[in-house]
Chain A
Amino acid sequence: MIETDILIIGAGPTGLFTVFEAGLLKLRCHLIDALPQPGGQCSEIYPKKPIYDIPAYPEILAGDLTKNLMEQIKQFEPGFTLGERADTIEKQDDGTFIVTTNKGTKHHAPIVAIAGGLGSFEPRKPPISNIKDFEDKGVEYIIKEPELYRDKDVVIAGGGDSALDWSVFLTDVAKSVTLIHRRNEFRGALDSVEKVQELKNLGKINLITPAEVKGILGEEHVTGVAVEQKGKEPFIIDTDHFIPLFGLAPKLGPIANWGLEIEKNAIKVNNALDYQTNIPGIYAIGDVNTYPGKLKLILCGFHEATLMCQSAYKRIHPDKKYVMKYTTVGGVEGFDGTKKEAPKAVVKAIE
Chain B
Amino acid sequence: MSNQDVTIKITDREGVIHEVLAPTDMNMNMMEVVRSYELAPEGTIGICGGMAMCASCQCYVKSEHELPEKSDDEDAMLAEAFYVEENSRLGCQIHITPKLEGLEITLAPES
Contact = CB atoms under 8 A, between A and B. Distances in A.
B83 interface: yes
Interface stretch (A27-35, A66-74, A242-250, A343-351): A242-250
B67 interface: no
Interface stretch (B7-15, B24-32, B38-46, B92-100): B38-46
Interface in A40-62: 41, 45-46, 49
B79 A265 contact: no
Contact of A127 (B49, B51, B72, B111): B111
A264 B41 contact: yes
A13 interface: no
A152 interface: no
A46 B84 contact: no
Contact of A249 (B41, B54, B83): B54
Contacts of B47: 118, 249-250
Contacts of A250: 47
> Which one of B51, B76, B80, B83 has the highest number of Cβ atoms from chain A below 10 Å of its Cβ?
B80
Contact of B43 (A187, A247, A266): A266
Nearest to A182: B79
B53 A187 contact: no
> Which one of B43, B48, B82 has the highest number of Cβ atoms from chain A below 10 Å of its Cβ?
B43
Given A45-B51, A124-B111, A247 B82 contact: no
B12 to A, nearest CB: 16
Contacts of B80: 124, 158-160, 246-247
Nearest to B46: A296
A126 interface: yes
Interface string A126-161: 110000000000000000000000000000001110
A293 to B, nearest CB: 13
B111 A265 contact: no
Contacts of A49: 51
A183 interface: yes
A159 B79 contact: yes
Contacts of A182: 79, 84
Contacts of A160: 76, 80
A187 B53 CA distance: 14
B83 A127 contact: yes
Contacts of A41: 48
Interface in A246-283: 246-247, 249-250, 252, 264-266
Contacts of A45: 48, 51, 53
A221 B82 CA distance: 24
Nearest to B75: A187
Given A118-B47, A160-B80, A246-B80, A265 B53 contact: no
A127 B42 contact: no
B15 to A, nearest CB: 18
Contacts of B111: 124, 127
B42 A187 contact: no
Nearest to B84: A182
B76 A265 contact: no
B43 A127 contact: no
Interface string A289-300: 010000010000
A187 B81 CA distance: 13
B53 A126 contact: no
Contacts of B76: 160, 187
Contact of B41 (A124, A185, A265, A290): A265
A120 to B, nearest CB: 13
20 contacts: A41-B48, A46-B51, A46-B53, A118-B43, A124-B80, A124-B82, A127-B82, A127-B83, A127-B109, A127-B111, A158-B80, A182-B79, A183-B79, A187-B72, A187-B79, A264-B43, A265-B43, A266-B43, A290-B42, A296-B49
**Closest 6 interchain pairs by CB?**
A265-B43, A264-B42, A187-B76, A183-B79, A159-B79, A127-B82
